[in-house]
Structure 1
């Protein structure tokens, strides 16, 4: 089963069903499939071959979806790129992935012009009329041929190179074939009970593995309807849920936080929502509770995985939320998970170790990075670099990244626990906990806080609040007030940036 054929089959089963609605443009599954085939033939006519790397520098759109499935049908390998990156960062990815072609939104045309210098990119396609002389227009390369491309594909052919978030350095490209991504779709359908009658709202970026692999591809395979937003805007998201009777929502924690800040949020009819998923970054229990109240459903799923897993990992289902809110969950379908010490031995319940995974959805390798692959994939297990604890019932809780754990006075402090306590305070809108160097303690626990609108943080009162919830050594000794926290497109806080900035602030 290859991913392109999933669309072909769905178009045959549900030809007139609404497949995509994006910025006023609507497509039945029949037309969706035809648009994909027209692009696929256009790419073939211009010399794009099976195995060529096709980079997408695009925001969420119908054209992104068409480009992805067209590449899948002709055996090209899709390289989705974070559209927030700079030209030099994009250049690194284009060169490292051996990209031969770029399809970009018009607003990124100049950036791509700079980024392709010194790479193997043969040509660029712009959605819209290109201003660069030798670029092709998207509509200009479409073929009149709407038939299925005659390309022989197998499940083992490569499909995607997904670049990691790059929160600590240059991103690495996780390589996946069709079979791995097909199983990612199967796992989320089984674990979350997604069906063909879903109306899925796509808010998170499609270049990210969660929105792309978990919900777009699985939804297309089932015949669901996809409402696609180019950018996230909380009011427009609420309007879309009400207007389109959205049944399935996935969002990163910061998006839920923004939805809750809409002044008249209670006026929207959100009753169509059957389930909500969150992931890509830790979500404080207090924020989960407020979101459950907002959507008036307890059908919440914590999807705790990573790009290298497909994404795959562990999941906390609605029943788990009732008794184990704040925990990561248990392994998803087709997945094994363990918590091990430095010798690779399982730790006892309550002890902290490294979270490792094994499943047929785990990446093949880091593209052209054998040493990094060797250090991450060991004896069939994916070593995630995340620290976790296992309880007596088998629930796994991620407590920190290895590099983000704080050691103060010889005691280990896990930022997720401290952040959870801070989020319970009514004046805290957003928070991140980091360690900063200290001559006495080695490191001290520091909190970077974004107050709610109109609130003033009283540090003494906030420390007293934390003291009721945390051991004394875990309470932030220093606090910094910021207007917002730096995040990547996946919603993950860039803690290395915070450490650099707060170190400078502390030196003043």
Structure 2
């Protein structure tokens, strides 16, 4: 099952449907989309690439990304999408680990990447992904049909963010991608040919994983002219195109909400915003729903089980009539159709509802393993179950609530404290914009709770006021012992807060501590 067959089928029957957009401009219908991808496949074959060879994409969000991605698959090769925000040396390391034969790189990225590759002594051909660099590719005779592949054949090497060390290459198969798409239709949202997918988050990650279901249904694919995330541009394109879907990280939704409130916007044209990739605090999603209405759906996944562990439905995100609505809104939803989810103890044995343990998942969207890393694979996949490293709890109705990564849990005086619970409490304070909680080593307690806080513009914070706010909502032993003020929280290229960087700041003893 070569997933590029879905593009061929759309081109055969609905070739005149508009497919690829740059901003408001339509660049290709489905017939042209397929023809251009077929030319890429033909060109790759002429370069001597064989089935299973790796081809990387180090590109900003442009329609060419999708053309090249599908061309790689039509040729039977494996795509290695790399986030365009990475440094050239980081991208070069991924190319080496993947043993990529060549890489397509956006203008402005190709030069730095080429220098990094040369410094590392690697033999990787860099193709500029602009009209001049792709001229020979697009002029090539197209491949007649997609390379025949089995569901277990590799489609995508997804490199984890690597916040605690070198990233690992998650092996994603064609069968996994098919299951992700079908689960999307069953558990997340409906898609029709009248819809448009707006790619404001990196196509190399979650947003790109949702491109396939929109090809399957013949929808439009819209890349912002900026090539990335700009709230004003998003609202303009959604209003212009209508029936717009997008995937967004929680930090993006916060920025969209603030922009809309500042400019009196309601998100006209936004049909669905799927959010995931990090914790979305209850106060933030309540504010977003109040601003945009019932457009939000939450998903929880990992690269190792992409986009498809759980989903919190549009109804659950929006409906506040249920007695447990706030608890459910603080969850990440219920298991998606293609997987099983359980909470396990240290040995992997199942725990009862209400007990906190490690989230474990198995099913059609779980990876077969890490690329050329059997030790990490053996540690993560045990008895058919993916050990996510995330801590959580299932309620009797099957709603899963996250309780941080196991490594982020704070043990103070022998008692477990989950940072997210403290963060949720603090974020209801009207003067706080962002919060992140970590543990600090303490000779008496083992660890104490430290909260890094970002105040709203013009707000004046005090230790006493924040303490009182916490004590009104959570147990005394959970409250932070220190509050450190930052202008913004450190984040990686995917918008996730870097708690390792916060711990480094603690070690530096140069913080602005509230008194």
- What's the TM-score once normalised by structure 2's chain length? 0.92
Question: What is the distance in 1 between the residues matched to 2:138 and 2:272?
Answer: 38
Match among 449, 469, 475 for residue 471 of structure 1: 475
Output the CA distance in 2 between the equivalents of 1:347 and 1:67.
Answer: 45
Query: Structure 1 residue 327: deviation in Å?
Result: 0.9
From 283, 299, 302, give the equivalent of 1:303. Answer: 299
TM-superposition CA deviations, 1:59-91 (whole Å, max 9, x none): 111111111111010011111112222233222
Residue equivalent to 1:251: 248
Report if aligned partners of 1:390, 1:396 keep a CA contact under 8 Å in 2.
Answer: yes
Q: Work out whether 1:158 is the aligned partner of 2:154.
A: yes
Instruction: Number of aligned residue pairs: give it.
Output: 499
**Structure 2 CA distance, aligned partners of 1:5 and 1:150?**
7
The verdict on how the C-alpha distance between 1:466 and 1:181 changes in structure 2, with shifts beyond 3 A counting, is same
The SS at the match of 2:215 is helix
Structure 1 window deviating more from structure 2 (150-159 vs 194-203): it is 150-159
Distance in structure 1 (CA, Å) of the matches to 2:293 and 2:361: 34
Tell me if the contact between 1:259 and 1:265 (Cα under 8 Å) persists in the aligned partners.
no
Report how far residue 224 of structure 1 moved: 0.9
**2:496 aligned counterpart, secondary structure:** coil
Q: Give the match for residue 134 of structure 1.
A: none
Instruction: Report the counterpart of residue 428 of structure 1 in structure 2.
Output: 432
Q: Which runs of 5+ in 1 are unaligned?
A: 131-136
Q: CA offsets, 1:306-335, max 9 Å, x none?
A: 110023211111333342110122110111
Aligned-pair CA distance for 1:296? 1.8
Whole-angstrom CA distance in 1 between matches of 2:331 and 2:11: 40
Say which of 285, 289, 295 aligns to 1:288: 285
Query: RMSD across aligned C-alpha pairs, in angstroms?
Result: 1.9
Question: Structure 2 CA distance, aligned partners of 1:459 and 1:90?
Answer: 42
Say if 2:271 is the partner of 1:274: yes
CA distance in 2, matches of 1:185, 1:219: 9
Structure 2 distance, partners of 1:390, 1:347, is 9
3-state SS of paired residue (2:101): strand
Please say which of residues 266-275 and 241-250 is displaced more in the overlay.
Answer: 266-275
- Partner Cα separation in structure 2 for residue 201 and residue 507 of structure 1: 40
TM-superposed CA distance for 1:39, in Å, is 1.8
Q: Distance in 1 between matches of 2:463 and 2:238?
A: 39
Q: Deviations over 1:22-70 (max 9, x none)?
A: 1445221111111111222222222222211111111111111111111
Helix, strand or coil: the match of 2:65?
A: helix
Task: Pick closer, same or farther for the CA change 1:249–1:141 going to 2, 3 Å.
Answer: closer
Q: Distance in 2 between matches of 1:147 and 1:371?
A: 38
Provide the rounded CA distance (Å) in 2 between the counterparts of 1:343 and 1:123: 46
1-structure distance, mates of 2:374, 2:469: 48
Aligned to 1:133: none
**Kept after mapping to 1: 8 A contact 2:89/2:117:** no
Tell me by how many angstroms 1:495 deviates: 0.7
State the partner residue of 2:322: none
The one-character-per-residue Cα deviations of 1:352-404 (angstroms, maximum 9, x if unpaired) are 11000001111111000001000101111000001111212221111010111
Kindly indicate whether the alpha-carbon contact (under 8 Å) linking 2:261 and 2:291 is maintained by their aligned counterparts in 1: no
- Write the deviation string for residues 247-303 of structure 1: whole angstroms up to 9, x where unpaired: 323211000111122165553352433332110001000111111111122x42220
Is 1:126 aligned with 2:135?
Answer: no
1:228 pairs with 2:223: yes
Query: CA separation in 2, counterparts of 1:428 and 1:240?
Result: 31
Contact 2:297–2:314, Cα closer than 8 Å, also in 1: yes
CA distance in 2, matches of 1:305, 1:318: 17
Q: Secondary structure at the match of 1:303?
A: strand
Displacement of 1:111: 2.1
TM-score (norm 1): 0.94
- Quick check: 1:94–1:119 contact (8 Å CA) kept in 2? no
> Structure 2, unaligned stretches of length 5 or more?
320-324
Q: Is the 8 A contact 1:106 1:129 kept in 2?
A: no
Mapping of residues 188-207 of structure 1, within 5 Å? 188-196=184-192, 197-207=194-204
Cα drift, residue 449 of structure 1 = 1.5
1:176 equivalenced with 2:172 (yes/no):
yes
Q: Aligned runs of 1:3-152 on 2, under 5 Å? A: 3-23=3-23, 24=25, 26-117=27-118, 118=120, 121-128=123-130, 137-146=133-142, 148-149=144-145, 151-152=147-148
- Distance in 1 (alpha carbons) for counterparts of 2:311 and 2:260: 32
Give, in angstroms, the shift of residue 154 of structure 1: 2.7
What's the CA shift for 1:142?
2.2
Equivalent-residue separation in structure 2 for 1:506 and 1:477 (angstroms) = 17
Quote the Cα distance in structure 1 between the aligned partners of 2:39 and 2:385.
41
Q: Distance in 2 between matches of 1:351 and 1:239?
A: 46
Contact map agreement 1:40 1:149 (CA 8 A) in 2: no
Q: Is the 8 A contact 2:81 2:204 kept in 1?
A: yes
> Over residues 192-219 of structure 1, what are the superposed CA-to-partner deviations in whole Å (9 max), with x where a residue is unaligned?
23222322221111111x2122x21111
Distance 2:5 2:164 in 1: 37
Query: Quick check: 2:89–2:113 contact (8 Å CA) kept in 1?
Result: no
| CA deviation map 1:230-258 (0-9, x unaligned) | 11011111111112214323211000111
